[in-house]
Structure 1
Amino acid sequence: MLVEFEYWWLLILPLFFTLGWIAARVDIKQLIAESTSLPATYFKGLNLLIADQYHKAVDAFSEALYLNKDSLELHFVLGSLFRRTGETDRAIHLHMNLLENYELTEQQSTSIKVELAQDYFKAGLYDRAEEIFQTLRHTRYEQAALRHLLEIYVKEREWSQAIAMAIELERSSGISYRKEVAQYYCELAANAMISQDWTQAKTQLLLALDANKNCVRANVLLGDIAAQQGHHTDAIAFWKRIEMQAPEHLGLVAQKMLKSYALLYGETEPESTHTPGKGLSEGLNQLHQYLETYQISSMMSVLYEATLQAEGPDKAAKLARTELIRKPSLKSLDQLLQARAMLDDEQHDLQLMQQTVRNAIGDRAAYYCDQCGFRAKQYHWQCPACNAWESLPPEPSEATIRDIKLLKRK
């Protein structure tokens, strides 16, 4: 149904236009009045911030604050700049001076405490930062305080407190911390394993899986514990569960699985007899199946080395050739050349070609964090640079400089 147009609305439109014009004029006059009361160094500091010249901006805002000592906003800006430039002692002194020597409202005092807590945190004075953040838990800064407290407990490796804080933060923010909680339980389990408290370690790992059923690390460690206790059937069963969680991680346990398969039948490390025992044969067949199904590069490396040692260079060469046809790579070519050099009488040319390939490959393969681009030669569950959990892919890659730059922009 259409609404009939009321012509008297046309009389109101000019009135609205006039009121809007007046309001705009008032706002412009107020803005001009406020801007003229600010020292010129304030605008100089803003220009330096835009140009990312933080140390020069510190000098400009310090001068502006000297000319306008009562401006809390300038105090906040300067304190933040001190933290950014690493001058945390100056930031702490500035915010302590505000709390001790200025008459502040409760809201202003709370805001300054937030800044001071961040100063302590940046300075590595976690106990002092924690004390202040604890007082902010029931203020409008609660979620920020909880996040900082969680980060403090992680940095100090206080895993039980980190679990409690993550659960509280999850309830407060509605954001899931299941992945992180599971990793904290795994850290507790790892500590228990060091002291060989297997019961406690298993308890923590089951809690990790309860928090996150897709926690690969929990099954890796459960398998490690079973193998350590000589329960190799259980160990293999735990590692096989990874296929249902994230099969791309199977390469992390491939070598362990082979060893447990061999020990199931009392076999030791594979010898160059070219006749693997029953256990090792089962293990090799299992890895072959994983390689065919999921095409995991690290699985191929383990399988090739085991095949070369247990079944000889002929079988290893066939494996490398098949992989080279399926997925051409310098790594597979290197393996093929190595096996062929062991088979042929005229080895010198093949060894020379293999060495050339290895020199071309170099040492570029590594694990690159998808959050910050950190490069690691071995797999980490937590990035050593940005502390993100499970941010490194399970398979090493040969990332280019361009790839790393793109990662850092995320």
Structure 2
Amino acid sequence: MEFDFTWLLWSLPLAFALGWLASRFDLRQWRFESRQAPKAYFRGLNHLLNEQQDQAIDAFIEAVQNDPDTSELHFALGNLFRRRGDYDRAVRVHEHLLSRADLSPKDRQRAQHALAQDFLKAGLLDRAEAALVKLDGTPFEAEARLARLAIYERTREWNKAAEVAELLEHAQRGSFRLRLAHYRCEQATALRQHNRTTEALTLLETLVADAPESARGWIGLAELRHSLSNTEGAWEALRQLCLHVPSHVPLVAHNLAIWAKLLQRTAQARELLHSWSARHAPSLDVTQALAHLEADPTAGRQLYIEHLRREPSLVAASLWLAGEHWGQGEEEKLVKQSLDRACDPLKRYRCAACGFEARQYFWQCPGCQSWDSYPPRRVEEL
């Protein structure tokens, strides 16, 4: 049977026509999808500008479904989830990005950083730490180390905090000398709590030798020496503080006066504090310490008058009036109680970063967690 070439002639144009129709259909579909993705993307962007996060998330989800290979849409969606507090979904988006084999190294590092931020915001500090460690050697290294430093401070892992602070110091990402000194002081406190006093003493002595500008180091060393009945060494530590960190003398003036009396060094302490007062603004703590050193109560009260001549102070006036007897017993008591109550807020310390006030002095603010944000002066003196 001979082959009929007529069918071949008919089939070739038919195949061409079907192929052309199929290509047109695919092209239309591609054009439709490519139009849909930008529309969803720009709709989401418009919702973002209008601070409509929920609608923006819906629009970006639609955009991602239309174009699942676009990493930028995934980053935008993950960031939106995190900002809304939907940390589980943010983690899933960024983990999905990290699982992709076609992701560029730059985007992989960016996704790792975003994942670490998700864990930080969610309060999953152990997982955040593990994610941040993986950012060593990347452009996010400095930021990741600062975040790890904050984690170690929150969890009070002072050894790890000191290691990271030293890395940042060596990388010239700022000065961390005083921050390191605080960590060493915290380590010394922990050693004392575990009855490892000798190690704590060695640590503090090394600290003040390496960082004499650390007021906390000198104060911690003085207190530790005093607890070991080494009042001579404690007084010497405070004297060194007066030389190296004079701004913090008001914090130690009281102990300086008490220990000077025990060691019969009243004249030396008085000279030290008077010299400090002549070079600095009046300090209530220093004035009180000088009054305590005076053998004659009248001479001590006169110091408050001299303080008032230099700077008006309700607290100083109240301290002067405390030694006066000028009225009926009950009336005098009521007036002095009222003055004490009015002076109480003025005796507090105030954080310069957030304004948190406290009766005691803090090296790290309980409110904003800033280090060295408390001026060593009372509220009335600021």
CA deviation vs aligned residue, 1:315-349 (integer Å, no higher than 9, x gap): 443232222222211111111222113xx464555
Aligned equivalents of 1:300, 1:103: Cα separation in 2: 71
- Deviation of 1:353 after TM superposition, in Å, equals 4.0
The CA distance in 1 between the partners of 2:100 and 2:361, in whole Å, is: 51
Change (3 A) 1:348 1:209: same
What secondary structure sits across from 1:339 in the alignment? coil
Question: 2:79 & 2:381 partners in 1: Cα distance?
Answer: 35
Q: CA RMSD in A?
A: 3.1
Does structure 2 conserve the Cα–Cα contact (< 8 Å) formed by 1:95 and 1:115? yes
- For normalisation by structure 1, the TM-score amounts to 0.73
Match of residue 337, structure 1, among 314, 321, 343: 321
Task: Identify the match of residue 60 of structure 2 among 65, 73, 98.
Answer: 65
Matching residue's letter, 2:43:
A
Q: TM-score of the superposition, structure 2-length normalised?
A: 0.78
Distance in 2, matches of 1:257 and 1:100, equals 63
Return the letter of the residue paired with 1:40.
Answer: R
Work out the CA distance in 1 between the residues paired with 2:319 and 2:107: 67
1:39 aligns with 2:42: yes
Distance in 2 between the 1:239 and 1:84 partners?
A: 49
Change (3 A) 1:186 1:360: closer
Equivalent residue number for residue 311 of structure 2 = 327
Q: Is 1:137 aligned to residue 119 of structure 2?
A: no
In 2, Cα distance between the equivalents of 1:34 and 1:68?
5
User: Match for residue 8 of structure 1?
Assistant: none
CA separation of 1:90 and 1:303: change in aligned 2, threshold 3 A: farther
| Contact 1:226/1:232, CA 8 A, preserved across alignment | yes
- Rg larger in structure: 2
CA gap of 1:37–1:195, structure 2 versus 1, over 3 A, is: closer
Which residue of the partner structure matches residue 392 of structure 1? 374
Q: Deviations over 1:33-53 (max 9, x none)?
A: 9976733232121231xxxxx
Structure 1 Cα separation of the partners of residues 271 and 381 of structure 2: 31
SS at match of 2:366: coil
Distance across 1 between alignment mates of 2:336 and 2:107: 69
% identical aligned pairs: 30
| Long gaps (5+) in structure 1 | 1-32, 49-55, 265-277, 401-410
Structure 2 partner of 1:318: 302
Q: Aligned partners of 1:287, 1:385: CA distance in 2, in Å?
A: 32
Q: 1:34/1:82 Cα in 2 relative to 1: closer, same or farther (>3 Å)? A: closer
Find the aligned partners of 1:293 and 1:220 in 2 and give their Cα distance.
22
Aligned to 2:194: 195
1:297 to 260, 284, 299: 284
Listed as ranges, the matches of 1:156-235 within 5 Å are 156-235=155-234
Q: Does 1:127 align with 2:122?
A: no
1:369 matched to 2:351: yes
Contact between 1:192 and 1:200, CA under 8 Å: does it hold in 2?
Answer: yes
The equivalences for 1:348-363 within 5 A come to 348-363=330-345
**Most deviating of 78-87 and 222-231:** 78-87
For 1:336 and 1:73, the matched residues in 2 are separated by: 70
Cα distance between partner residues in 2 of 1:232 and 1:287? 19
Assess if the C-alpha contact under 8 Å between 1:316 and 1:339 holds in 2: no
Q: How many pairs align?
A: 343
Residue type matched to 1:41 in 2? G
Query: Contact 2:40/2:62 (CA < 8 Å) preserved in 1?
Result: no
- What is the SS of the residue equivalent to 1:254? helix
- Residues 86-124 of structure 1: per-residue CA shift (max 9 Å, x gap): 443332233223334685233222211111111112222
